[in-house]
Amino acid sequence: MTALVIAVDGPAASGKGTIAARLAAHYGLPHLDTGLLYRAVGLAVLDAGRDLDDAVAAEAAALSLDIVGLSDNPRLTERDAGEAASRVASHPGVRAALLKLQQDFAGQPGGAVLDGRDIGTVIAPDAAAKLYVTATPEVRAERRWKQLTARGQDIAFNDMLEDIRRRDERDSGRDSAPMVQADDAVLLDTTDLGIEAAFDAARRIVEAARVRAGI
């Protein structure tokens, strides 16, 4: 059987993680939220009292990253972790240190679903299905604002929007593996789609890709 690798990329709070998790459940595939890796590296640098612009410290943190229990760590979902992740993610040494882990995950026998910024371009360029999930900055800021305030975090909406815009600019403007839609990825704009409608659209994109790839 040919492996079904699904690459889901896109900007912050576009809903790519939600779609990736739903696709993974639907197809019975393992799922990796690669943003968690960068978030964990960012927090490790901060916890070590080092500067996020210190490429050597960030690379060392990435090389010694322990991925066990990452998805259960609530600190990783906080606002500061997202900002720290985006800062350390611009260091080429950090990206190189996390490359094999992600490629091994994508290379599992039956396939896998990975979401992030460079899955379709760098991590799994041969993925059978590639989606680039987006939404307007205002809608993404609202989704993230609702998510964080529901957890009791006190954030003004305008600060959230500013965060999203700054992160988009940094992620798409860096030299190393910038956030960009892969040439062969299908664009899925979820601005006017609820979660169910977005998942349905994503599933249709994957089904079409499966037919094309004969999987």
Ligand X SMILES: Nc1ncnc2c1ncn2[C@@H]1O[C@H](COP(=O)(O)OP(=O)(O)OP(=O)(O)O)[C@@H](O)[C@H]1O
Give the residues lining the site for ligand L45E5XJ5 (CB under 6 A). Answer: 12, 34-35, 38-39, 82, 85-86, 89, 116-118, 167, 171
Q: Which residues are annotated as a binding site for ATP?
A: 10-18
Closest distance to ligand X from the beta carbon of 149 (Å)? 11
18 interacts with, out of ligand X, ligand L45E5XJ5, none, CB within 5 to 8 A per kind:
ligand X
- Which lies closer to ligand L45E5XJ5 via its Cβ, residue 34 or residue 190? 34
Closest distance to ligand L45E5XJ5 from the beta carbon of 131 (Å)? 14
- Nearest-angstrom CA–CA distance, 126 and 70: 27
DSSP 51-77: -TT-HHHHHHHHHT---TTGGG-GGGG
- Nearest-angstrom CA–CA distance, 111 and 30: 8
The DSSP bridge partners found for residue 9 are 116, 132
- Nearest-angstrom CA–CA distance, 132 and 151: 28
- Which lies closer to ligand L45E5XJ5 via its Cβ, residue 117 or residue 209? 117
What angle do the packed helices 35-47 and 92-106 form, to 10 degrees? Answer: 140
- Which lies closer to ligand L45E5XJ5 via its Cβ, residue 22 or residue 167? 167
